[in-house]
Structures are given as C-alpha cells and as structure tokens.
Homo-oligomer: A and B are copies of this chain.
Amino acid sequence: MDTSSLASRVIARERRAIAQAITVVENDMPEAAALLHELAPKLGNAYRIGITGPPGAGKSTLTSELTKTFLKLGKTIGIVAIDPTSPFTGGALLGDRIRMQEVSMNAGVFVRSMATRGSLGGLSSKAKDAADILDAAGFDLVIFETVGVGQSELDIAKAADTTIVVLVPESGDAVQAMKSGLMEIADFFVLNKSDREGADQAVSAIKTILTFRITHAENEWIPDVIQTVAAKGKGIEAVITEIERHKAYLITTNTLISKRRKRDRERIVELVEDLLRINFWSKERTDGLEEKLNVLSDKKTSAYAVAKALVSEFGKK
C-alpha cells in the first residue's frame, strides 16, 4: 500500500480514502504508523468534542441533532462512535437508525463506528487514530460518542477539547454518574429528555454534586447543565453555545494548548504500551506459553513467576 498517496487523498478529504485509512488503523495493519506519520503535520485544526453518558441517555440522538445544526452553520463534522448501545454500531431502534442515516449521507459528515467487543485493549488508541485521520482530513469538528461506563470508554471521551456528559432525569442518574467517574470528566452536562418529570430536580442534583468539584481557583471553569429534548430538536442551539463558551474559555486562559499537550502525552503512553504488547507476543512466545501452562496447572509455579520469567528475557531496564 502506498501510504503517501493514501495520506494525500485523506488530506483532500476523499471519502473512500478516509474510510480506508480508518480501516488501516482499526485492523492494526502494518502501514498504520507510516500513514499517521504522514498525516501528523495536518493535525490540530479540528475541535474535538466527547459525548458520553449512561446507556439510554440519548447520546446518539444528541450527536445527530448537533451534527445537523453544525451543518447549518457551515461546519463539517467527523464522528467516531464507540458506543455498543449506539445506533451507529447497529442493533438500534429503527427510528434512531433513520435519523443517523439522514445525517451520515451528508457530504459534510463522515461517520465511523468502531466495535468494543473482542477488542484487545487497543480500542482507545484506534479511536484516537480515527479522530486524527478525520482531523487531518480537515473536518472542523470531530465528535467521539462513547458509552460512559468503563475506564477505556471514559478515556476516549476525555480525549477531547470539550467533554459533554449526557444524563436523563431518572432518579439517581446523577448519583450513578458521580460514582462511575462521569462527573469528573464533564466540561458541561446535558440533561436530555428534559420534558420528563423530575427534570428540574435532576438539574439541582447535578449542580449540588458539582459544588464538590469547585475549588474556587481563579478563572475556574464551572460546568453548567443544559436541558435538551434531543428527539424533538429542543435545546440543541444552547448546547452549541455552551461548546463555544467552553472553547473560548480554553483559548483565553491558554489551557487549550496544555490540555492538548497532556492528551499527546497520554496518547504516546498508550501507543507505547500497544507496541510493547505487539512486539512481545511473537509466535514463539505465544507457543511457549502453552508449555508453561502445564507447569502452572501442576501448582509448581505461579502466574506471576511465569509472567516475570517471560518479561525478564525481553526488555531492557
């Protein structure tokens, strides 16, 4: 594969090239590193938005409604969906699917879903690679949609400039969100399905929980709660206004640069660990493991000792 030519076509925003490039990273193809290296000079122009929340909060509906409104504002949008409960990734209700298809047919939108099941831990890395490809392709916005439970899913949602946590007015949803680590990653909240009973109380509950986060530092960003009814298109402009307000805050306080630097650091750490794993599990070592399992089942050694022996013959300190 000619990665140079593929990279040029990605940069020219050819849809087939973008799809092919994401397949290269998704399938761990050997050309992935070269391809992303070619794209590196084009990175950093897209504004990245993470949308997360518990299953059933309406993340996909919000994503598609935001996308429609961004399109009206003349923006182009790349979407990476890593939500197993998302209509993007199949198995959705028919209405949701139709809504998504409407959006994804637009020339200014590119949607890619990535599976969480069966992934060998590299999904978070691959999702960020996909976002880089969309960034290099010149999309103004890149949206990550991920379900907000589980560490790797939260890691993806956090890898954005603005992270939005979507909740619904069900009793206890805010408390569950707090416990699962969602409260800490939100730059702001969207209370979706706000036409349901208990919406005002839910907003109060979120704001109360948020007070624990406030440190009274100078220029501190205080997350707000925006109410929407995404399925009816209500509140979408307010969400966009809040994204813009957060972006302006990041720029005026000079934190956009430091946030992205932190993200780069985490990215390299993640890539290093993926590479270590790939380099380590040669056919020889994988085969050797079977023999060692026999010794282990005789209780003559421990999993720790086996692992330590395998690693000690591999790396330099």
Chain A residues with CB under 8 Å of chain B are 32-33, 36-37, 39-41, 43-44, 54-56, 84-85, 89, 91, 116-117, 119, 121, 123, 147, 149-153, 172, 175-176, 178-181, 184, 257, 260-261, 264-265, 267-269, 271-277, 279-282, 289, 292-293, 296-297, 299-308, 310-311, 313-317
Contacts and interface: CB of A to CB of B under 8 A. Distances in A.
Contact of A147 (B89, B180, B261, B296): B180
A60 B211 CA distance: 28
A315 B55 contact: no
5 contacts: A43-B299, A267-B303, A269-B281, A276-B311, A314-B315
B55 A176 contact: yes
A37 B303 CA distance: 8
Contacts of A281: 269
B147 A302 contact: no
Contact of A176 (B85, B292, B302, B315): B85
Given A36-B303, A267-B303, A275 B179 contact: no
Contacts of A280: 272-273, 276, 315
B307 A275 contact: yes
Contacts of A175: 91
Contacts of A293: 261, 264-265, 268
B36 A279 contact: no
Contacts of A54: 55
B277 A308 contact: no
A137 to B, nearest CB: 16
Contacts of A37: 301-302, 304-305
5 pairs of A and B residues whose beta carbons are closest in the complex: A150-B150, A40-B302, A271-B307, A149-B149, A33-B304
Given A37-B305, A279-B315, 15 more contacts: A37-B301, A40-B299, A41-B299, A55-B149, A55-B179, A55-B180, A85-B176, A89-B179, A147-B180, A265-B293, A268-B292, A272-B280, A276-B276, A282-B317, A315-B315
